[in-house]
Amino acid sequence: ACTTGSQQSEANNQGGGEALSEADLAGQTIGFIPGVNDPFYISMQCAIEETAAEYGMEVSVQIPEQFEAAVQTPIVNSMIATDPAALLIAPTDGTALQPPLKQAVDAGIPVGLVDTTLDDPSLAFTSVATDNELGGAAAADALADLIGGEGKVLVIAFKAGASTSDARQKGFEDQIAAHEGIEYLGAQINDNDPAKAASIVQASLAANPDLAGVFATNLFAAQGAATGLRNAGAEGDVKIVGFDAGATQVEQLERDDVQALVAQKPGDIGRQAVEQTVAELTGGEVTPEIGTETVVLTQENLSSMQDAIYQESC
Ligand code: T6T
């Protein structure tokens, strides 16, 4: 059993440090770099802090002001300089964040990916995320249902190059193709800006007055899409399926500005990422890839699904 333990620790401990005992974890710091400041990542952060505290560990959080690789990269560099025991990060771009995270690993800091992933995630000891393609497919079926299987639909992709945006779009596109009565108008990018999502929806509606539905791939895309429809006086006529379940989105669902929300489980992602970090640091068995669930919120099930709504603070 002893030999297995040390073999595991060598194999898993990619940062190259000595495996710690569980007691040694107390006082160690996990760095956490989310994509941006939003209720999804706040909920994840709360779970990370809570789980880390169970091991006596600290969490050092640095939050990019925008969901942008150019903003996140210097944060990674400054986090490396503080030499945390491990780093958990949601890379905002699968390509651009590869080199800075390789530097973290080269500096002996094990890296775990949460939510988004990298083009080559093999540098990370674990990747914990929603199955975003499946979530996109669920959104396609929900939207098809809402529009009675007929009409024009649009995708608002929140950020090209962010793995979650790309995967939700792909899952939606693959699945919507199976609905013969639906005409897919393609995807437009809102750069994580709700105002841009609103203007995309208003312009699409002007060009296609018979627009039937919108799939908005994250919290800010969905919030903005709903605002855009309301500005155009088309709320409720054009159906919206959004991803995520922040308080504003849930209010929009209650008002019928949005008809369905694909809610992720950011708390599960955060908790499991810390459990994997503990395994990594103590030479335990690490799971390289963990998928977490989504649930679809509608006006009908909302009252029984209050736990699925994201936190605005811990
Ligand atoms: O949808 C989440 C997250 O999964 C995505 O990667 C970025 O946007 C959110 O944080 C919502 O704003």
Per-residue pLDDT tens over the stretch 67-79: 999 999 999 999 9
pLDDT of residue 144 exceeding 60, the answer is yes
**Contact 35 CB / ligand 1 (< 6 Å):** yes
> Can you tell me whether residue 144 is helix, strand or coil?
helix
pLDDT band at residue 16, thresholds of 50, 70 and 90? low
Nearest C-alpha neighbor of 137 from the set 302, 294, 313: 294
Pocket test for ligand 1, best of 38, 65, 93, 191 (most atoms within 8 A of CB): 38
Both structure tokens of 195: 């105002």
Ligand 1 atom nearest the C-alpha of 266 is: 4
Ligand 1 centroid from CA 162, angstroms:
9
Residues 6+ apart with CB under 8 A from 271: 47, 48, 50, 51
**Contact 42 CB / ligand 1 (< 6 Å):** no
Higher-pLDDT residue of 224 and 13 is 224
**Contact 38 CB / ligand 1 (< 6 Å):** yes
**Reported ipTM:** 0.99
Bridge partners (DSSP) of residue 114 are 128
- Phi and psi of 183, rounded to 5°? -100, 120
**Contact 115 CB / ligand 1 (< 6 Å):** yes
**Contact 310 CB / ligand 1 (< 6 Å):** no
- Spatial contact of 13 and 43, defined as CB atoms under 8 Å apart: no
**Contact 243 CB / ligand 1 (< 6 Å):** yes
Q: Whose CA is nearest to atom 6 of ligand 1?
A: 164
**Contact 220 CB / ligand 1 (< 6 Å):** yes
The average pLDDT across 148-161 equals 98
pLDDT band at residue 12, thresholds of 50, 70 and 90? very low
Ligand 1 atom nearest the C-alpha of 40 is: 10
Q: What percent of the chain has pLDDT over 70?
A: 95
For position 92, what pLDDT does the model report? 98
For position 312, what pLDDT does the model report? 96
- Spatial contact of 203 and 195, defined as CB atoms under 8 Å apart: no
For 247-266, what is each residue's pLDDT tens digit? 999 999 999 999 999 999 99
**Contact 249 CB / ligand 1 (< 6 Å):** no
Q: Whose CA is nearest to atom 8 of ligand 1?
A: 218
- 188 exposed, middle or buried (CB, 10 Å; 0-12, 13-18, 19+)? middle
Number of neighbours of residue 75 by Cβ within 10 angstroms:
17
**Contact 116 CB / ligand 1 (< 6 Å):** yes
pLDDT of residue 140 exceeding 90, the answer is yes
Number of neighbours of residue 61 by Cβ within 10 angstroms:
15
Ligand 1 centroid from CA 40, angstroms:
6
Pocket test for ligand 1, best of 244, 248, 261, 265 (most atoms within 8 A of CB): 244
pLDDT band at residue 88, thresholds of 50, 70 and 90? very high
The average pLDDT across 201-230 equals 97
The sheet with strand 239-243 has its strands ordered as 182-189, 151-157, 211-216, 239-243, 260-264, 294-297
In whole angstroms, give the CA distance from residue 302 to residue 38: 21
